[in-house]
Amino acid sequence: MAAVEVDGLTVRYGDLVAVNDASFSAAAGQITAVLGPNGAGKTSTIEVCEGYRRSAAGTVRVLGLDPTTNQREIAQRMGVMLQAGGVYPGARVADTVRHYCALYGKGADAQALVQQVGLADRARSTWRRLSGGEQQRLSLALALAAKPQVAFLDEPTSGVDVNGRDTIRGIVRALAAEGCAVILATHELDEAERLADRVVIFDQGQIIADGTLTELRRGHDEIRFRSSPALDLHALATAIGMIASQVGPDEYVIDAPPHPRLMATLASWLADHGHPLTDLRAGSQRLEDVFRRLTAAKQDPTKHDGAA
Amino acid sequence: MSRFRAQLVAELQVVRRNGEQLLLTLGIPVMLLAFFSLVEVLPTGTDDPVDFLAPGVLALAVMSTSMVSLGIGTGFERTYHVLKRLGATPLGRPRLIAAKIAAVAVVELVQFAVLIPVAYALGWSPASTNWPLAVAAVLAGTTAFAGIGLTMAGRLRGEINLAALNGLYLVLLLLGGMVIPFAKLPGAVRAVAHALPSGALADVLRETLGGNGSQPGTSWLVLGTWAVATPLVAARLFRWD
């Protein structure tokens, strides 16, 4: 049984339909990234799962329970990390973690949690004196105080520096490895790409893709390179037998598997024509490109390729 | 540590760390009591101003803690999503509200432990005292003011709530018979003042702690009405996030 099951969920704010007939599931021991731009419906969906918000239609089950009627029971087994805030500005780090450990009553060691999220030297600092990244790490510690079976983490690495991101990623992976179902809401595609086992993409209130990264990328290999700003794309196409598209001032993409002969021909053509090769990447599309492709397909159904 | 106790400790830590709340709940009542007892500028109508002021300042202390301090604190907790985050723990609303009420009660005990000795030191000599009824009045007043504070905290943005509650505090202080006798207010204002929870609580405390109430029966009725009505309004209008 999935830890989180969302079936036909619809959320309305007056006349506005924030989530429209969304269905997905998240398994225990996996990291499920819920992606989408701001206003796509991901936070509304997560808030229904957390028991904060009621749905207009559809069913949601978290650990087999209905969040609207069993919120207290779910809360005992659920870790939550809000996108921002959630702590008294004047509260100290150590006191806050101790407070939440007591509220959950699961025997979590407050001092060890503070250490785990890398805030041991800030234990006596108040929330308002923490940097944005430190506040995120404290929020994560509060979610861990629940010793959760399911964790909803909203933008956990937003505003966090590189070292802090590594710390958070390590904790999130460990949480999943212990069997927790981690639901990660983010609009940072790179973060999802690094962490997620499964990806659910929202756009304009609807789920436009749901699958593993491999599934979403399947059949979409590419060669991406940087060179002079104004290549003769017609001549290049004649040389390599493929069409190259310019996607940035000096960035180009060829939609093709990265065959060594093709790459060698490309490199030779650039060298023969005196152009530099400042960057070259070949293989599966980045999640960002998958996302662009899928959202473009939604706006123009003729481009839809069945990836969802 | 039980969940209730953990939340109560957190509430009291917040109060302790907010210097401005300490000034509001203890500093201003003590200053008003001491200053106007020693400097006879108020038309109290009593031989010793402290006999008029002491019950009024106790009422002021109740209003400061249960309406202004609770309301401002809760309003900012909404703004900072503290209530939302607590809503995702097993604490539950009843325990959260119980912890807030207990924290208000603890602060009021501290206020009275300071204000009553100060009043006696300034010469307060009530002709008669009925402490059980005074405690009942304080409980009713606390409920009424907490209802007002939570209603405003549950509807207004943090900064607007802060300004509105401080403004209301000033109005109720001046029109509530706490430091200025009802008899000295203009006729129309006097009628309104008697209908306010601050006026009713001050009058009831003046009756139970000195036998000097101006219309204690009506004031009990007014106070009881506010104590029932405002929590109901708060329960209906309060938004947690």
Alpha carbons A136 and A147: distance in angstroms, whole number: 18
- In chain A, residues with a C-beta closer than 8 Å to the C-beta of B9 are 99
Q: B24-63: per-residue pLDDT in tens?
A: 888 999 999 999 888 887 777 777 889 889 999 999 999 9
**Exposed, middle or buried: residue B131 (CB in 10 Å: 0-12, 13-18, 19+)?**
exposed
Nearest-by-Cβ selection for A88 from B6, B82, B87: B82
- Checking if the pLDDT of A302 tops 70, the result is no
Strands A206-211 and A16-26: unpaired
Q: Name residue A151's amino acid.
A: A
φ, ψ of residue A59 in degrees (nearest 5): -125, 145
Q: Which residues of A touch B6 (CB under 8 A)?
A: 99, 102-103
pLDDT band at A308 (very low <50, low <70, confident <90, very high): very low
Which chain A residue's Cα is nearest to B82? A86
Interface contact B80-A85, CB threshold 8 A: yes
pLDDT at A152 over 60: yes
Q: In what order do the strands lie in the sheet with A57-62?
A: A16-26, A4-13, A57-62
DSSP code string of B5-47: HHHHHHHHHHHHH-HHHHIIIIIHHHHHHHHHHHS--S---SS
CA distance A85 to chain B (A): 5
Q: What is the pLDDT along chain B (241 residues), one digit of tens a residue?
A: 799 999 999 999 888 888 777 788 889 999 999 998 888 877 777 778 898 899 999 999 999 999 999 999 999 899 899 999 998 999 888 888 888 888 999 999 999 999 999 999 999 988 888 999 999 999 999 999 999 999 999 889 888 999 999 999 999 998 888 888 888 888 888 888 889 999 999 999 999 998 888 889 999 999 999 999 998 998 888 877 7
Question: Residues A61-91: pLDDT tens digits?
Answer: 999 999 999 988 999 999 999 988 899 888 9
Query: Chain A partners of B92 at a C-beta cutoff of 8 Å?
Result: 72
Is residue A307 pLDDT above 60, yes or no? no
Kindly state whether B14 is in contact with chain A, defined as any CB-CB distance less than 8 angstroms: yes
Closest CA to A227 of A274, A288, A172: A274
CB contact under 8 A, A99 and B10: yes
Q: For A139, name the nearest residue in chain B, comparing CA atoms only.
A: B85
Residues B22-53 as b/e (b if ≥16 CB within 10 A, e otherwise) read eebbbebbbebbbebbeeeebebeeeebbbbb
Cβ within 8 Å of A, B 30-89: 76-77, 80-82, 84-89
Q: What does pTM read for this prediction?
A: 0.81
pLDDT digits (tens, 9 = 90+) for A236-295: 999 999 899 998 899 999 988 888 899 999 999 999 999 999 999 888 777 888 887 777
pLDDT above 70 as % of chain A: 96
- Please check whether residue B239 touches A, CB under 8 A: no
Tens-digit pLDDT profile for residues B7-25: 999 999 888 888 777 788 8
